[in-house]
A and B are shown apart, each in its own frame.
Chain A
């Protein structure tokens, strides 16, 4: 395990603190009058997503985190897990459902995702920012209805229910932002 000092701090640097892996999201050189230099650093916990701020004095060491991201393809679902394949080595791994959480509802088979490994164990999955999905079921739309802000629920094949504008019909294909779970636009008609 290697160590870093404050001059190594960069955006995206992965370090261990209090037993959890963190990534640097922001940092600034500060130096109080008559005091030592510090790096005011914002870290994101790679497991929980929580952001914390620490002032790290020059000379302090940071422990590198054994994390890596792999590009993997989602193959199929088992009882309590999802099976992914490394697209470069064809190795398959099982990732428990609770690690993936609600993202599972926006994850069609064959989709290529980034899987975060911490100490060789898969701990998180990042979907592409946008996916396109067919509407499985929704109330019938009204052709001329273009009122903005009015939505209705629509079910997509991955399981999620998305709020869509009234003019969307069953069989339409829509674009969804996976970070917010929100409808963006219609990309294909039934």
Chain B
């Protein structure tokens, strides 16, 4: 059990003073047992907020005509994304990194509006905003535009904030604030909407199109003053620029929806009909948190297979596990109506509206407390 990470900070020095010897005890057990008794309050608050938000989110989806579904957690193809590491389950199966593939099969099978709140697993991800086992809200709307999904996100943040009395302004703790200072964030609609190109141009003064060679992009990054190290792929160089110069400024005055990602970062998104170097995708940032990733879902099984093959090859080159291509998904894509979908980190949503520092603060047990 843990609860003392944040609580210890939350306690005033005078509240700590009766038990200094306990807090200074080396090694965990006594420390943790005592702090559990002392500090359960804040931990309970996180758990209660989580339950209230979950209830409100479920109710909202029901009101919007969504069907709540459950799909398998142990699958053969956990997702081919180059930078995700699936955790092996049993035999030849892995735990899902997101429920995307099976949910798309349900859309293809004729369920136009579905939502799922489920556990996902990503190996090796641990930090203030990351846990290897976490909770995702994922939903799909057949026949809808990406902008409708963006409005869903706006509504959902309002719903979550209201559920804990945090509307319309949420607290951003120092650890997530600009220059390490605590601040406040107004989360009313409409959120700020920018494209990747606008953000890069405004903040960095460069305007990559998406068809630059790796060398050309490297020149742009160097001009932007980024330290590239040994980055040698388009997406590694892009994210160095993005993390150094763009991401720290997103979602600061209002939550920010970043649309229109360059083709090399397409993942499972489809190209824009009027701009084939750009894909229909947005990411949502708010108060130092990356909250959600949405796609106009790629429905072309031929292009999807080509991307899977390419990603598998990159995984092979990096010495990562290569997962089988999900043939049932590819078969279903041919039947899937035009669809938009999004995955939002539920734990991070709770963090946003409760002003939590650390993802552990909104979970009953973190991975290393199992």
Interface residues of B in 76-102 (CB under 8 A from A): 81, 83
Known: A28-B127, A56-B229, A60-B229. A34 touches B265 (CB 8 A): yes
Chain B residues near A37 (CB, 8 Å)? 83, 124-125
Query: From DSSP, what is the main secondary structure of chain B's interface residues?
Result: mixed
User: B231 within 8 Å of A by Cβ?
Assistant: yes
On whether the beta carbons of A36 and B230 are closer than 8 Å, the reply is no
Of chain B, the residue at the smallest CB distance from A60 is B229
Q: Is B71 on the interface with A (CB-CB < 8 A)?
A: no
Whole-angstrom CA separation of A120 from B181 in the bound complex: 38
- Inter-chain contact A36/B235, CB cutoff 8 Å: yes
Residues of B within 8 A of A32 (CB): 239, 242-243, 247, 290
User: Is residue B130 within 8 Å, beta carbon to beta carbon, of the partner chain?
Assistant: yes
Question: For the complex, what is the distance from the CA of A24 to the CA of B125, rounded to whole Å?
Answer: 21
Show 16 residue pairs from A and B whose CB-CB distance is below 8 angstroms, ordered by the A residue. A30-B243, A31-B127, A32-B242, A32-B290, A33-B293, A34-B235, A34-B265, A35-B235, A36-B83, A36-B235, A38-B243, A54-B227, A55-B240, A55-B243, A55-B244, A60-B229
B327 within 8 A of A: no
Contacts of A33 in B (CB 8 A): 283, 290, 293
Q: Which of B130, B230, B293 contacts A29 (CB 8 A)?
A: B130
Mark B139-166 against chain A: 1 for CB-CB distance below 8 A, else 0: 0000000000000000000000000000
B310 an interface residue at 8 Å Cβ cutoff?
no
Given the interface contacts A29-B126, A29-B127, A57-B240, does A35 sit within 8 Å of B229 by beta carbon? Answer: no
Do A57 and B236 form a contact, CB below 8 Å, given A34-B265, A36-B83?
yes
Given the contacts A55-B244, A57-B229, A60-B229, A35 and B239 also touching, CB distance less than 8 Å = yes
Q: Would A36 and B239 count as touching, CB distance under 8 A? A: yes
Q: Give the B-binding residues of A (Cβ under 8 A).
A: 28-38, 40, 54-57, 59-60
User: A60 contacts which chain B residues (CB < 8 A)?
Assistant: 229-230
State A30–B244 Cα separation when bound (angstroms): 12
Tell me the complex Cα distance, A108–B244, Å: 45
CB distance from B85 to the nearest CB of A (A): 10
The 10 closest A-B pairs by CB, nearest first: A29-B127, A35-B239, A60-B229, A33-B293, A55-B243, A36-B83, A34-B267, A32-B239, A33-B283, A28-B128
Nearest to B243 among chain A residues (CB) is A55
In the assembled complex, the Cα of A30 lies from the Cα of B235 at a distance in Å of: 15
Residues of A within 8 A of B243 (CB): 30, 32, 38, 40, 55
- Inter-chain CA distance A37–B240, complex, in Å, is 11
Residue B74, interface by CB 8 Å: no
A149 to B46, CA, bound (A): 44
Bound: A43/B239 CA distance, A? 20
Q: Which residue of B lies closest to A38 (CB)?
A: B243
Contact B83–A35 (Cβ < 8 Å):
yes
A3 to chain B, nearest CB (A): 12
Residue in B127, B227, B267, B293 whose beta carbon sits within 8 Å of that of A30 in the complex: B127
Distance of B54 from chain A, by nearest CB (Å): 22
1/0 contact string of B49-73 vs chain A (CB within 8 Å): 0000000000000000000000000
CA distance A32 to B261 in the complex (A): 13
Give complex CA distance A59, B242 in Å. 18
Q: Provide the B92-126 mask, 1 if CB < 8 A to any CB of A, else 0.
A: 00000000000000000000000000000000111
**Residue among B126, B240, B283 with most chain A CB within 10 A:** B240
B245 to chain A: closest residue by CB: A55
CB atoms of A57 and B231 under 8 A apart: yes
Residues from chain B with a CB closer than 8 A to the CB of A34 are 81, 83, 235, 265, 267, 293
Residues on B with C-beta less than 8 A from A38 are 239, 243
B129 within 8 A of A: yes
**Bound CA–CA A34/B97 (angstroms):** 12
Using an 8 Å CB-CB cutoff, how does the interface string of B298-323 with A read, 1 for contact, 0 for none?
Answer: 00000000000000000000000000
In the bound complex, residues from chain A placing their C-beta under 8 Å from that of B229 are 56-57, 60
